[in-house]
Amino acid sequence: MKIRSILTAALALLLATGCNAQNKQENTNTITQSNNKTMNKIVIFFSHAGDNYSVGNIEVGNTKIVADYISEITGADQYEIVTHKYDGMAYMPLIELAKKEAADGELPPYEGAAPDLSKYDTVFIGGPVWWGTYPQVMFTLFKDIDLAGKTVIPFTTDEGSGLANCVSDVKKAFPKANVTKGFSIYGHEVRTGKAKVEKWLSSFK
């Protein structure tokens, strides 16, 4: 079973790397404007740098790499959902904490203010799959934004679950948005996977 294999591999990773992982996430969640003049798209994403399954202790999270590809290719601005709750956590304790958060429907706070999305008509939403859906902190932000009438394009990075429940959970959170099909890519593949992201994005042109 998927989760069981994640946990097994995680244990191996934990033993191999020790428990001293550092989360080096440094980005703030202010809106970052791209150089491209297209101003009606934004990527809202969460990404966890640090100790992770399959990729080891990474300085830049897998989803952030995909978010950066999207901005580079489409000119979309960015808003990163930031929390320091998981800073420096090793993979196994994070797995357990995230499991409990999801089970309890916890809504951990994010840093800073929610973005003003009034000028955007297209919103990419991306994050890792954690226990079958997006990390709970993303749902905290979802409660603070209104995407009615906007085109919402979900994407995930994962290690086997694909989009899991992310698209349906985005639809539930934003019933008045036009939520498209969604895109997923393995986290361990993103650093060599720009062409896949490009191919996916070409379907919107």
Ligand X SMILES: Cc1cc2nc3c(=O)[nH]c(=O)nc-3n(C[C@H](O)[C@H](O)[C@H](O)COP(=O)(O)O)c2cc1C
Give me the least distance between CB of 204 and ligand X, in Å please.
22
Nearer to ligand X among residue 87 and residue 178 (C-beta): 87
Helices (H), the chain: 2-17, 62-74, 91-104, 136-142, 166-173, 194-202
Give me the least distance between CB of 185 and ligand X, in Å please.
8
Give me the least distance between CB of 149 and ligand X, in Å please.
28
Q: What are phi and psi of 44, to 5 degrees?
A: -105, 125
Residues near ligand X (CB under 6 A): 6, 47-48, 52-53, 61-63, 94-95, 98, 128-132, 157-161, 187
Give me the least distance between CB of 97 and ligand X, in Å please.
7
Strands 77-80 and 183-186: unpaired
Nearer to ligand X among residue 128 and residue 182 (C-beta): 128
155: CB partners within 8 A, 6+ apart = 66, 70, 124, 125, 126, 182, 183, 184, 185
Nearer to ligand X among residue 59 and residue 198 (C-beta): 59
Nearer to ligand X among residue 124 and residue 150 (C-beta): 124
Residue 64 DSSP one-character state: H
Nearer to ligand X among residue 165 and residue 178 (C-beta): 165
Is residue 179 helix, strand or coil? strand
Distance CA 153, CA 196 (A): 16
